[in-house]
């Protein structure tokens, strides 16, 4: 392959999404490769925050029903704007809560142990917060998580074999909860296949889309996924602690949410103030509390860009960027002990590259010292995300050249091979 900077510049010149780079606040002398953990602030997101702030300033309580973005309908509006990203109908998505609170809501609703069917199936490589939520939901129902939470084992510590997941879909399983993309290795699961296999066995299935929403197109409605949930602060650039999203397939509309709250009410009846809950007839029913207006505000501006760019073009560039990054790593860093831990096949790869190295923590510290922002995950993973909307191919090239210098000159040895408080 062509290892020159000129080739990287040629790729940038051909990139239809390069126009969006100027939409983001990118710090000078910094290459940001951590958008799979926290996306950058865009100028449009900043603008939408100021617009919502001004609506409070000028309208006061009338902002609930007046202004350019009435707050009363904001969660549903953003859900509609998000729907195409996951292949959903507009009424199947609502922006609300957080990843973990939405998981609690959905498990409370869709986990219905009956007879032999009492267990929840997950995987051993899932993000800890999901596992904590599943364990606590089982405890609330009087079940022992050590016995009733099945965690499918990984054969290599990196990936989960889908045949192993399916092989654990026994007649005692009531619910399956899996990630769309594994947060460490970036493995993309076959959501359609797993959903079909679960339903063939009479099992409900839901997905955590935190590491795919905004990077990978899905077809949740078409595939019949029962529910899904995700954060918006990674690839969707909604800001730190940004409000999450959830999807509920329309076949479940009318199902009473496990955790009821007044913003899940039918909006025509919400202010009747009755003590009889009348849930909304769509995914809005699964809201609990009042919308966090200022926290959802950045998403308005961010989603405008996704509507223009389209998730398909974002995925196309993401695949090309991660392929280019892997090729450079194999060509330039092959003698330095790195192992690419993510699937190399396009159909199984998420939006980031997973690099394994015994000195990963101190290499990450050295990268930061040299203007590269990576992501470390214990015990030995460096995650690098060339996010489609704001990372250039030339920056991918520069990242590998800087890493090569760090390894050639052993610059990482000055650092302790131990993670910071926040990795």
Q: Is 129 annotated as a binding residue?
A: yes
Q: Is 399 annotated as a binding residue?
A: no
Q: Is 56 annotated as a binding residue?
A: no
Q: Can you tell me the distance from the alpha carbon of 87 to that of 93, in angstroms, rounded to the nearest whole number?
A: 10
Question: Quick one: pLDDT at residue 417?
Answer: 84
Task: pLDDT tens for the chain, 423 residues: list them.
Answer: 899 999 999 999 999 999 999 999 999 999 999 999 999 999 999 999 999 999 999 999 999 999 999 999 999 999 999 999 999 999 999 999 999 999 999 999 999 999 999 999 999 999 999 999 999 999 999 999 999 999 999 999 999 999 999 999 999 999 999 999 999 999 999 999 999 999 999 999 999 999 999 999 999 999 999 999 999 999 999 999 999 999 999 999 999 999 999 999 999 998 988 999 999 999 999 999 999 999 999 999 999 999 999 999 999 999 999 999 999 999 999 999 999 999 999 999 999 999 999 999 999 999 999 999 999 999 999 999 999 999 999 999 999 999 999 999 999 999 988 878 777
Q: What is the CA radius of gyration of the chain?
A: 22
Q: Is 318 annotated as a binding residue?
A: no
CA angle in degrees (0–180, nearest 5) for 364-366-369: 115
Enter the tokens of residue 261.
């709250």
* 5-32+311-412 and 48-308 in the same fold: no
Question: Quick one: pLDDT at residue 288?
Answer: 96
Q: Is 272 annotated as a binding residue?
A: no
CATH (residue range 48-308): 3.40.640.10
- Domain boundaries, given as residue ranges, for the chain: 5-32+311-412, 48-308
Q: Is 233 annotated as a binding residue?
A: yes
Upstream peptide bond of 150 is cis (omega within 30 degrees of 0): no
Q: Can you tell me the distance from the alpha carbon of 421 to that of 323, in angstroms, rounded to the nearest whole number?
A: 31
Class of domain 5-32+311-412: alpha beta
CB-based contacts of 335: which residues, under 8 Å, 6+ apart? none
Q: Is 130 annotated as a binding residue?
A: yes
| pTM, entire model | 0.96
Q: Is 346 annotated as a binding residue?
A: no
Q: Is 208 annotated as a binding residue?
A: yes
């Amino acid at each position: 392959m062509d290892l020159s900077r000129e080739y990287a510049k040629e790729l940038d010149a051909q990139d239809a999404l390069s126009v969006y780079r100027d939409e983001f606040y990118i710090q000078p002398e910094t290459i940001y490769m951590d958008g799979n953990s926290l996306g950058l602030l865009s100028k449009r997101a900043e603008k939408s925050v100021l617009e919502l702030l001004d609506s409070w300033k000028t309208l006061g309580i009338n902002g609930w029903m007046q202004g350019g973005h009435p707050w009363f309908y904001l969660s549903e509006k953003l859900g509609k704007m998000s729907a195409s990203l996951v292949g959903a109908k507009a009424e199947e998505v609502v922006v609300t809560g957080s990843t973990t609170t939405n998981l609690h809501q959905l498990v409370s609703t869709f986990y219905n142990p009956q007879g032999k069917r009492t267990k929840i199936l997950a995987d051993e490589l899932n993000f800890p917060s999901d596992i904590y939520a599943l364990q606590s939901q089982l405890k609330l129902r009087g079940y022992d998580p050590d016995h009733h939470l099945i965690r499918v084992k990984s054969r290599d510590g990196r990936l989960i074999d889908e045949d192993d997941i399916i092989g654990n879909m026994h007649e005692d399983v009531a619910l399956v909860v899996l990630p769309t993309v594994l947060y460490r290795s970036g493995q993309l699961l076959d959501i359609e296949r797993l959903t079909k296999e679960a339903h063939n066995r009479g099992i409900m299935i839901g997905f955590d889309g935190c590491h795919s929403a905004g990077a990978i197109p899905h077809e949740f409605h078409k595939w019949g996924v029962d529910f899904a949930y995700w954060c918006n602060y990674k690839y969707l650039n909604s800001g730190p602690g940004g409000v999450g999203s959830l999807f509920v397939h329309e076949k479940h509309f009318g199902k009473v949410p496990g955790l009821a709250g007044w913003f899940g009410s039918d909006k025509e009846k919400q202010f009747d103030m009755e003590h009889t809950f009348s849930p909304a007839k769509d995914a809005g029913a699964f809201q609990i509390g009042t919308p966090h207006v200022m926290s959802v505000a950045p998403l308005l501006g961010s989603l405008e860009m996704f509507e223009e760019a389209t998730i398909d073009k974002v995925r196309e560039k993401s695949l090309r960027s991660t392929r280019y990054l892997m090729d450079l790593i194999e060509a330039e860093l092959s003698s330095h002990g790195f192992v690419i831990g993510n699937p190399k096949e396009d159909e199984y790869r998420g939006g980031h590259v997973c690099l394994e190295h015994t000195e990963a923590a101190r290499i990450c510290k050295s990268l930061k010292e040299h203007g590269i922002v990576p992501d470390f995950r214990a015990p030995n993973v460096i995650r690098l995300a060339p996010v489609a909307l704001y990372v250039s191919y030339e920056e991918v090239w520069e990242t590998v050249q800087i890493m090569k210098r760090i390894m050639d000159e052993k610059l990482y040895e000055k650092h302790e091979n131990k993670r910071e408080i926040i990795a």
